[in-house]
Structures are given as structure tokens and as C-alpha cells.
A = this chain, B = another copy of it.
Amino acid sequence: MPTASDAAPPLLSALSGRRPATLPVWFMRQAGRSLPEYRAARKGVGMLESCLMPELAAEITLQPVRRHRVDAAIFFSDIMVPLKLAGVGVEIVPDVGPVVAEPARTASDIDRLTRLEPGDTTPITAAIELVTDELATVGSVEASWTPLIGFAGAPFTLAAYLVEGRPSRDHLAARALMHADPDSWRRLMAWCATISGHFLATQVDAGASAVQLFDSWAGSLTRADYAAHVAPHSRAALAAVEGRVPRIHFGTGTGHLLEEFAVGADAVGVDYRTPLDEAAARLPGVPLQGNLDPALLAAGDAALFAHLDDVLARGRSAPGHVVNLGHGVPPTTDPDVLTRLVERIHRAHAS
């Protein structure tokens, strides 16, 4: 009989549709500005630069595991990192977000862009090896080690930044291009899928035990446009690690796209707006991740824990449930709230 510590970590059990004794939890953006140790580590270092410094990226990835005892590390990276590695001129401007030096608006812009190859991923591999070395010794009641989740932005999100040149609310230029010049759009998206898939595969090659493909902006699309002009490319990116590790697919404001998100993925992350029991009814057999409302993190423990109980109860409808937020940790979050939340989730019965 194996000892408890030889079993699969709860995250991987839940992602394969089982109900481990302990409910697994991690938080999107857990490695980030809510932690004082993160702010100290990042002092004076630009966002994209920090992602490419292996020791720093590893340290930041590990901070929330050490502090909160979450059931997974999420690799500290940025949606724009694979673009930067490919040679795209991009920087993260404080209070603005990603800014692309030369937005790709025309067929010839896209021709030029899509000739770029995925760049040298040595710093990513090095960081992941440092992370997984430490995680091999960080266990829980059920397993002797903690998994690392790899991360990439989905092709539409990359394309939206490349076309718009900066964050936008409705991605009008990107969505207009999709209809005005579907061939160029397809070339752009196919390239983004290659870049995104390559970035996921790099992380799995280096030791990541799961991946999450995150589509920040897909919520701006109609379901018809998503299905016709976006989904095939997200599936191509996910296919880059098919059969190797569980693949979580997540987007915000994508309640109307859930069924599409489930195709080609092993689990679906659910935005806080869609109750998990509704999501489970729409996605039979699909493990779900989510979906605490980040706003509740600042509403006091009584309101937060009542909300948690509701989310956990609804999550029982899914074959596996990875507890998470329905969006990233707000930078202003008191980290002690997250630690208490993890403790409470670990004390809850998984089924």
C-alpha cells in the first residue's frame, strides 16, 4: 500500500476528474503585487526583465507556495514574454500595460511579424528547473511534492495586443481586422498559436505538471466569432502539450463561450460570473477551476467565507474542482486573507 505521500498531488487528481481528500487551491496572480516579498524582489526591475531572470522568476513563483501553502505554483511570467522572446518590440508600461512598438494592422505588417521564430527560451527552462527543484520537497498531507503550472496567453489575447498596440476595452481594431481581412487574421492567429503552444511546451519540457492557457480578451467576442476565428487557434496552442499534462483553459467574461473553451482542454477555468453548478451542467464530465469573486477578498472574512461555502457547494457538481478565484488576485489584497482562505479550503471536505 503506498503511503499518502506517494499519491498524486490534489491538483492533478482534481484536474483528472477525481475528488482528492483535500480540495486543491491556487490563485491566479498569486505570485504578484499582493505580496510584500514580491514587491521587494521586483524593486527596480522591469516586469518583462524580471520574467527573464531565472533566479528572480523562480523566487517569485515560489513565494506564494511558501506563504500560503497553495497546492500549485503558477509560473511567474507575462502574456507578452513569448512575444518578446520572438523579437517583438514590447514593453510593460506602468499604469498602462503592454505596449507594442509597431502594431500589426495590415497584411504586410502581419507578413513581417509572422516571419519571426519563437526565440531562445533558455531563461524559462532555467527558472522552471529551479522552481521544480524546490517544489519536489514541498508536500501536503496527500503528496510529497507540489506541481508547477505552466502558463501562456491565448492566441486571441496575443493578437489583440499585437493589433491594438496596447490594452483596449473592446479590441475593435483586432475584431475589425478579423472580418475585413480574414486571411491575414488567420495567418496572425496561426503564428500566435505557434508562439503560445511553443511557450507551453517549453514549460512542460522543463518540468511543469499542468498548463493554463489564459484568454484575457476572448470575452469581447461573440460566440460565432470565437468559434470561427479564434477557437481553432487556441486548440492548436493547447494541442502542443496534448497527452503530456492536464490543460486548463480560462478566460474572463467568457460565460457565453464556456462550451467552446472546453473543446481541446482537460479542464475549464470559470469566471466568477458563472455559478459552478451552471458551468458543470453545461460541461458534463469536465473538471472545473474557480470561481471565487475577487471582490469578496476585501469584504471581510464573514462575507468571504459565506461566499466560499457557496462556491464549494456548487463545485460539488463538477467531477473535479480546483478552487481558485474567478479572476486574478487584486494587487491591493491583504495576503493574510489568502492564507486564511487556503486553510479553510483545506479543512473543507472535498466531497
Q: A144: shortest Cβ distance to chain B, in Å?
A: 37
Q: What are the residues of chain B within 8 A of A170 when measuring CB–CB?
A: 294-295, 327, 330
A227 contacts partner chain B, Cβ-Cβ < 8 Å: no
A250 contacts partner chain B, Cβ-Cβ < 8 Å: no
Closest residue on chain B to residue A220 by CB atoms: B273
Given A253-B253, A255-B256, A256-B255, A176 contacting B295 (CB threshold 8 A)? yes
Alpha-carbon distance A220/B326, docked complex (angstroms): 12
Closest residue on chain B to residue A172 by CB atoms: B295
Q: Total interface residues on A, using CB and 8 Å?
A: 36
Q: What are the residues of chain B within 8 A of A297 when measuring CB–CB?
A: 176
Question: Is A179 touching B253 in the complex (CB atoms < 8 A)?
Answer: no
Q: What are the residues of chain B within 8 A of A307 when measuring CB–CB?
A: 179
Given A170-B294, A274-B256, A300 contacting B180 (CB threshold 8 A)? yes
A101 contacts partner chain B, Cβ-Cβ < 8 Å: no
Q: Mark A256-298, 1 if CB is under 8 A from B, else 0.
A: 1000000000000000111100000000000000000111111
A219 contacts partner chain B, Cβ-Cβ < 8 Å: yes
Question: Is A175 touching B222 in the complex (CB atoms < 8 A)?
Answer: no
Q: Mark A147-178, 1 if CB is under 8 A from B, else 0.
A: 00000000000000000000000111101111
Alpha-carbon distance A118/B223, docked complex (angstroms): 42
Count identical subunits in the complex: 2
Alpha-carbon distance A219/B223, docked complex (angstroms): 17
A348 contacts partner chain B, Cβ-Cβ < 8 Å: no
Question: Is B253 touching A175 in the complex (CB atoms < 8 A)?
Answer: no
A299 contacts partner chain B, Cβ-Cβ < 8 Å: yes
Question: Is B296 touching A176 in the complex (CB atoms < 8 A)?
Answer: yes
Alpha-carbon distance A294/B222, docked complex (angstroms): 12
List 6 additional contacts besides A176-B295, A222-B293, A256-B273; criterion CB under 8 Å. Answer: A170-B295, A170-B327, A170-B330, A172-B295, A177-B299, A178-B295
Using a CB–CB cutoff of 8 Å, the interface residues on chain A facing chain B are 170-173, 175-180, 219-224, 253, 255-256, 272-275, 293-300, 303, 307, 327, 330, 332
Q: List 26 A-B contacts (CB under 8 A).
A: A170-B294, A170-B295, A170-B327, A172-B294, A172-B295, A172-B298, A172-B330, A173-B298, A175-B295, A176-B296, A176-B297, A176-B299, A179-B295, A179-B299, A179-B300, A179-B303, A179-B307, A180-B298, A180-B300, A180-B303, A219-B253, A220-B273, A222-B273, A224-B275, A255-B256, A256-B274
